[in-house]
Amino acid sequence: MLRFIFTFIFVVFSSIICSESSVVEIHWNVSRILDSRDGRAPWKVIAVNGKPRIPPVHVQQGDILKLTVLNSLENATSIHLQGFTQNGTSYLDGTGMTSECGIPSGESYTYVFDTHGYSGTFWLMGGMNYHTADGLRTPLIIHEPLGRSDIHYDKEILFTFEDWGEETFLYHYNKQDVVKTSELVPYYPDGLINGINGNISQSVKLEPGKKYRMRFINLGAVYFFKFRIPGHKMHVIEADGISTEPLEVDGIDIGPGQRISTILTAHNTNAHNYIYNVTMYASFIVPHDKLNPRHYEGLIEYK
Ligand SMILES: *[C@@H]1O[C@H](CO)[C@@H](O)[C@H](O)[C@H]1NC(C)=O
Ligand SMILES: *[C@@H]1O[C@H](CO)[C@@H](O)[C@H](O)[C@H]1NC(C)=O
Ligand SMILES: *[C@@H]1O[C@H](CO)[C@@H](O)[C@H](O)[C@H]1NC(C)=O
Ligand SMILES: *[C@@H]1O[C@H](CO)[C@@H](O)[C@H](O)[C@H]1NC(C)=O
Ligand SMILES: *[C@@H]1O[C@H](CO)[C@@H](O)[C@H](O)[C@H]1NC(C)=O
């Protein structure tokens, strides 16, 4: 009898757990389209389903993400989920020519990502043929279903940073249009914030007294980004998908591939607007007149 009750409790309990997670199916037809993201002449960037920018993917912790990728590019491609260890599932790691041969042109493949045990800020990127640098990259946010019991916030704000070229990676590379460091690093004249020229990105609206979780992701290949809002402190609560004790900071400094979440508490009054300040830089590349560092600004709008 006791055994029956235990079994019963286990079945009920596990069905509750199961009912919380679901399967999220996404279809990506990956191809090149002519697009301008920085305001310069358009070039053939990599896009999904013919749309200029790849929408961020949002799931709940424990969801199974099924991402079906149809490769409509000229060469093989793959998708790497930045931040997943893929313990026992290296065939899903998308590290082209290391753990797999990639998806041939014209073929499709379904990645099955089990998000149990993961939460926070991640991103999906092309794992072959420099496709990530040509735009095959987007955030993957794994939301904690119950939030963090120690941290309350009202809303979320997402900031993605990208270094961006005037043409495809291979074009710059073949032209040896590169900055000389210990390695050859392609020339990236522009910084994108949320997918467009950092200086024309949309303003951030804050409501007095509210708390915001700001998620920052550096989707770029080479450059670092610094971000700060004068007159505001933030508390770091997550680094690369790992929750941290809150740490007060004036701003953040984020390298390629990294993710940081902060809590920003808006001022209690809407008397003033502010300007946020972003610097794109690489300390290992010689300072260059107009290329390194680069500054971007945007509006923090209270009123
Ligand atoms: C995928 O995109 C390519 C390029 O835009 C297009 O030719 C093709 O018809 C699309 N395939 C599907 C199944 O939507
Ligand atoms: C496809 O790969 C070949 C061989 O590496 C290369 O020459 C070509 O430029 C690539 N095409 C594109 C569009 O990247
Ligand atoms: C990988 O999984 C195996 C089997 O579940 C486990 O023993 C091992 O500790 C895991 N390794 C890491 C680095 O998590
Ligand atoms: C932004 O940063 C640059 C470089 O550090 C500085 O010159 C500028 O005054 C800053 N702008 C604001 C609004 O703080
Ligand atoms: C962005 O705008 C700021 C303020 O006008 C300016 O100082 C900066 O040079 C601009 N950045 C670029 C890359 O044009």
Residue 98 CB coordination number (10 Å): 13
- Give how far the C-alpha of residue 1 lies from the chain's centroid of Cα atoms, to the nearest Å: 52
Cα-to-centroid distance, 249 and ligand 4 (Å): 17
Amino acid in position 16: I
Candidate from 84, 85, 87 with most ligand 3 atoms within 8 A of CB, to mutate: 87
User: What Cα–Cα distance (Å) separates residue 125 from each residue in 50, 78, 94?
Assistant: 17, 8, 9
CA atoms within 13 A on the CB side of 38: 19
Provide the pLDDT for residue 303.
82
Cβ atoms 205, 218 nearer than 8 A: no
Dist. CA 74–CA 279, nearest whole Å: 35
Q: Which residue has the tokens 């006791």?
A: 2
Dist. CA 115–CA 22, nearest whole Å: 10
Dist. CA 144–CA 263, nearest whole Å: 15
Q: Whose CA is nearest to atom 7 of ligand 5?
A: 295
Please, is 53 exposed, middle or buried when counting C-beta atoms within 10 Å of its C-beta (0-12, 13-18, 19+)? Answer: middle
pTM for the full model?
A: 0.91
Cα-to-centroid distance, 174 and ligand 5 (Å): 30
Q: Which of 70, 125, 139 is nearest to 93 (CA)?
A: 125
Q: Which two tokens stand for residue 32?
A: 């090149």
Among the bound ligands, name the one nearest to the CA of residue 232.
4
CA atoms within 13 A on the CB side of 52: 10
Provide the pLDDT for residue 102.
96
Q: Which of 140, 162, 160, 158 is nearest to 45 (CA)?
A: 162
Residue 56 CB coordination number (10 Å): 17
Q: Which segments of 101-154 are extended strands (E)?
A: 108-114, 120-126, 137-143
Q: Is the CB of 108 under 6 A from ligand 1?
A: no
Q: Which two tokens stand for residue 79?
A: 């998708």
Dist. CA 218–CA 280, nearest whole Å: 11
For 17, phi then psi, to 5°, come to -60, -45
Q: pLDDT digit of tens for each residue in the chain (303 aa)?
A: 444 444 334 433 433 444 467 999 999 999 999 999 999 999 999 999 999 899 999 999 999 999 999 999 999 999 999 999 999 999 999 999 998 899 999 999 999 999 999 999 999 999 999 999 999 999 999 998 777 778 899 999 999 999 999 999 888 877 766 665 556 566 688 999 999 999 998 899 999 999 999 999 999 988 999 999 999 999 999 999 999 999 999 999 999 999 999 999 999 999 999 999 999 998 877 777 677 899 999 999 998
Task: Give alpha helix (H) positions in the chain.
Answer: 2-20, 169-174
Q: Is the CB of 258 under 6 A from ligand 1?
A: no
Q: Is the CB of 51 under 6 A from ligand 4?
A: no
Q: What is the DSSP letter of 202?
A: P
CA-based end-to-end distance of the chain: 66
Provide the pLDDT for residue 15.
38
Please, is 77 exposed, middle or buried when counting C-beta atoms within 10 Å of its C-beta (0-12, 13-18, 19+)? Answer: buried
